[in-house]
Amino acid sequence: MAELAVRNLRESILRNSLTTVGISVGVASLVAMLSLGIGLQQLAGRRLQKSGLFDTVVVTSRRDLRGFNRDQEENGPAPAESPALNESARQQIAQLLNVLEAYPDIRFITELRYEDKPYLTMMAGLPFSAKNNDAFDGMQGTFFSSDTAPEVILQKSFAAQLLGRTPKAGSEEANVADLAKPLLGKLLTMKYAERTPTPATDTAGKKDLSSASSSETSNPAGTAYSVLSREATLQIVGVCDLDPDSMRGQARARIFMPLKLAQNLHVMQPSDFRDTTNVANGMPAYTTVEVHVKSPTQVQAVEDAIKKMGFNTFSIVDATRSLRQFFAVLDLFLGIFGSLALAVASIGIINTLVMAILERRREIGIMKAIGASDGDVKGLFFAEAGVMGVFGGFVGVALGWAIGRVINLGTNVYLKRQHFPPEQIWFVPWWLVLGAIGFAIVVSLLSGLYPASRAARLDPVQALRYE
Amino acid sequence: MPPAESSLKNSIAIHTENLCRHYRMGDTLIRAVDGISIQVTAGEFVALLGTSGSGKSSLLNLIAGLDRPTSGNVVVQKSDLAKLSREELAKYRLHTVGMVFQSFNLIPSMTLLENVELPLRFAEVDRDKRDGLAKQALDRVGLSARLRHRPTELSGGEQQRASLARALINQPQFLLADEPTGNLDSQTGTEIMNFIREFNETLGMTIIMVTHERTLAERYANRMIFLADGKLVGDQSNVVSANSAQIRGGGL
């Protein structure tokens, strides 16, 4: 029957082609809309994944008295009784189920010398895993060669400052490549305060601290420390276009060094002052520990576990949920618009087939007279609808794919003009291709249902009477 | 094509009993077929004669299973057509009867081969067998050279020969012809009639032919049934037609 259907369709090629084009346009709009919806969702997902916002738990100590939310302060242990957020706590957190890594946030204000001029800015340690962060999209130079390499990456605005270029108001942002060229490979000298444990005897002998002697008895390992002024030479390896530390607001750094290096330098941290009188074991206490979780779905569980340890936590996992909901609604709406186009196309199929019945009345009569059953006639019209659906589906998917691609290209041209990196905002998954073709066939068959049964019911004597 | 079984010869193949087909046209009731009872023996060549509107075509449509009686019975080979389902009736049209029309009724968008093959498709004959059978049937009516032609590219006689081939393709026992020569000149008409007689004589097919030409009926049919206003008005056997040689020689 399909064979017969195809040849019948070829007979009124123009009308059937137009009908098929109608289906194609319906399918195409469906595919284009959904592929853009899916593409946008994936883009957002990728961005968020790379930004590390949704799989990150920020841990702070209650001891610093600025919990991210007040409930915790009332429910958990009192700040004075809560544990210190030190290296052993960090290791404990890193051991938790589904935790990829837990690293301290190390940042400090430092004086840097570049070509004999001093600059004061905030330095932060970056874990090696930050390499894949989208903040480094469009970076000039390279990421750190190792986790302890004496290398730094500059933020664009700081690079401009080092070069003495102050951006004028209203002028376009400086080109990162121009800024990087004279700086890459150059050396900076950093002045910083190192915190070194002082041997207990030395401390007691030299400073004669009465308070220190009491804690000395409970833990003789490191009850006191010295602060030494040091210098280190660092090489500029990269200048980044975006701001890797944008989340930090006021405290954001404009120059970055490998985290391990920062730890090894034992730079004095603000929390060191706070816990000067309290740290008994000589371990440095961290202001903040950032925890990376395997996937956003496990964030809640990890957060709960860390809270149980007596720390304050913060994550934006709830935001992902509402974001997903938003995309589900977006996809639904885009799908509805696409389906409307397909509905119009299906009316076209019904119209074409009903017209075909009128036109081919006699043919149907002949077929019945020579022995075609109702089922044969119905099957033939049904097959014609199906063939139009198959063709329409395939052409439509190709068309939709092309439309999505064109929109994507157009968007990227726009993005480029606005100095953004290109993005894939359009994605056609396999299930959409198969689903759209299947949908086109199903819609066509449903549209063929009425004309086919009408053709099957035709009275052969009536149909043959008109000459 | 195998000849009809000898046991069927001279047995009653078709019989109608008080057969009626009435229909309404506006306010008037039209009695197209009005209480006809006839019996047709297997192997007969019957001509249904009458003026237009006499009900001969309506009677043929009832026998062909294209139409259903308002009342009465049409029994063909012991099955009452009035009692068959639509599906069974289609099967009956497909396998038991073959039809030929005045206006040929070939499907214009199909080649001759495809037209003749069509009943085989409905009979679900294997694709690889269909082609051979259709070619064979067209060869029988002398159209081997026209397989790929469309009906409109052929003369009326050729079209009617193709429709004969189509009527025979599923080897039916009955050939029902509605004015088969009505649209043809006398020479091609004779050609067609000779084919029909050949099917009657060599294949043993039972022929029922509707015509308004008495001479044609006398020349070929061995029985003439006369209808007027839907009623049977005469039924006579015709011996002249038995002598086929004389007619063939005599032309028209």
Kindly determine whether residue A370 and residue B122, on different chains, have CB atoms separated by under 8 Å.
yes
Query: For position A49, what pLDDT does the model report?
Result: 67
Say how far apart CA B112 and CA B91 lie, in whole Å.
Answer: 23
| Strand, coil or helix: B183 | coil
| Domain limits, chain A | 2-49+322-465, 54-316
- Rounded to an integer, what is the distance from CA B54 to the centroid of its chain? 18
- What is the model's pLDDT at position B235? 92
| Out of B61, B122, B167, closest to residue A372 by CB | B122
Q: Which of A363, A369, A375 sits opposite B93 (nearest CB)?
A: A369
- Give how far A455 is from chain B: nearest CA, Å: 14
Model confidence band, residue A357 (pLDDT cutoffs 50, 70, 90): confident
Q: Do A372 and B107 touch (CB under 8 A)?
A: no
Residues A322-331: tens digit of each pLDDT: 777 787 888 7
Least confident of A68-82, A397-411, B92-106: A68-82
pLDDT band at B191 (very low <50, low <70, confident <90, very high): very high
Give the mutation candidate from B70, B86, B170 for the A interface (greatest A CB count, under 10 A). Answer: B86
Q: Quick check: B16 pLDDT over 90?
A: yes
CB contact under 8 A, B107 and A461: no
pLDDT, average across residues B80-95:
92
Query: Is the per-residue pLDDT at B1 higher than 60?
Result: no
CB B115 within 8 A of CB B166: yes
Helix (H, G, I), strand (E, B) or coil at B195: helix
Interface of B with A in 88-147 (CB under 8 A): 90-91, 93-95, 98-99, 101, 103, 105-107, 109-110, 114, 118-119, 121-123
Q: Under DSSP, is residue A72 helix (H, G, I), strand (E, B) or coil? A: helix
What pLDDT, in 10s, does the model give residues B122-172?
A: 999 998 899 999 999 999 999 999 899 999 999 999 999 999 999 999 999
pLDDT more than 70, % of chain B = 91
Closest residue on chain B to A371 (Cα): B94
pLDDT over 50 at A207, yes or no? no
Q: Are A439 and A27 in contact (CB under 8 A)?
A: yes
| pLDDT at A346 (0 to 100) | 75
- Compare CB distances from A373 to B90, B106, B110 and report the shortest one's residue: B90
Smallest Cα–Cα separation from A195: which of A229, A226, A230? A226
Q: Which two tokens stand for residue A57?
A: 């738990």
Contacting B with CB below 8 Å, chain A residues are 4, 7-8, 11, 362-363, 365-376, 460-461, 464, 467
Q: Give chain A's end-to-end CA distance (angstroms, integer).
A: 27
Please state the three-class secondary structure of chain A as a single string: CHHHHHHHHHHCHHHHHHHHHHHHHHHHHHHHHHHHHHHHHHHHHHHHHHHCCCCEEEEECHHHCCCCCHHHHHHCCCHHHCCCCEHHHHHHHHCCCCEEEEEECCEEEEEEEECCEEEEEEEEEECHHHHHCHHHCCCEECCCCCCCCCEEEEEHHHHHHHCCCCCCCCCCCCCHHHHHCCCCCCEEEEEEEEEEECCHHHHHHHHCCHHHHHHHHHCCCCCCEEEEEEEEEEEEEEEECCCCCHHHHHHCCCEEEEHHHHHHHCECCHHHHHCCCCCCCCCCECCEEEEEECCHHHHHHHHHHHHHCCCEEECCHHHHHHHHHHHHHHHHHHHHHHHHHHHHHHHHHHHHHHHHHHHCHHHHHHHHHCCCCHHHHHHHHHHHHHHHHHHHHHHHHHHHHHHHHHHHHHHHHHHHHCCCCCCCCCCCCHHHHHHHHHHHHHHHHHHHHHHHHHHHHCCHHHHHHCC
Task: Give residue A221's pLDDT.
Answer: 46
User: Mean pLDDT, to the nearest integer, of B63-87?
Assistant: 92
Cross-chain Cβ contact A369/B105 below 8 Å? yes
pLDDT value for A198 = 67
Residue A99 clears pLDDT 90, i.e. is over it: no
Query: Given CB atoms, is B203 within the 8 Å cutoff of chain A?
Result: no
Residue type, A59: V
pLDDT of A215 reads: 41
Q: Shortest Cα distance from A465 to chain B (angstroms)?
A: 11
The pLDDT > 90 percentage for chain B reads 76
pLDDT reported for residue A249:
61
Q: Residue A222: what pLDDT?
A: 47
Average pLDDT over residues A420-447: 84
Which is more confidently placed, B198 or A10? B198
- Please tell me which residue of chain B has the smallest CA distance to A376: B122
Residue A345, pLDDT > 80, answer no
Contact A367 B99 (CB under 8 A): no
pLDDT computed for residue B241 by the predictor: 43
Q: B86, A373: Cβ pair inside 8 Å? A: yes
| A370·B123 Cβ contact <8 A | no
State yes or no: pLDDT of A441 exceeds 50: yes
Average pLDDT value over all residues in chain A: 79
Q: Of the candidates B86, B103, B109, which has its C-beta nearest A11's C-beta? A: B109
Structure pTM? 0.63
Span A126-151, pLDDT tens digits: 888 888 777 777 788 888 888 888 99
In the predicted model, what is the mean pLDDT of chain B?
88
A209: pLDDT strictly greater than 60: no
Per-residue pLDDT at A278 exceeds 60:
no
Find the mean pLDDT for residues B199-208: 92
pLDDT of A50: 66
**Bridge partner residues of A343 (DSSP):** none
CB pair distance less than 8 Å for B103 and A368: no
B122 and A11: CB-CB below 8 Å? no
According to the model, what pLDDT value does residue B2 have?
A: 47
Q: Residue A212: its pLDDT value, please? A: 43
Please judge whether A371 and B119 are an interchain contact, meaning their C-beta atoms are less than 8 angstroms apart: yes
Give yes or no for residue A205 having a pLDDT over 70.
Answer: no
User: B216-246, pLDDT tens digit by residue?
Assistant: 999 999 999 999 999 999 999 887 544 444 4
* Contacts A8 to B, Cβ<8 Å: 109
Higher-confidence residue: B1 or B96? B96
pLDDT(B38) > 50: yes
Give the Cβ contact number of residue B89 at 10 Å: 22
Would you place residue A109 in the very low, low, confident or very high pLDDT band (cuts 50, 70, 90)?
A: confident
Q: Is ipTM > 0.85 here?
A: yes
**pLDDT for residue A271:** 64
- Could you tell me the pLDDT band of residue A85, with boundaries at 50, 70 and 90? confident
Confidence class for position A217, pLDDT limits 50, 70, 90:
very low
Please tell me the distance in Å from B94's CA to the nearest CA on chain A. 4
pLDDT score recorded for residue A219 = 43
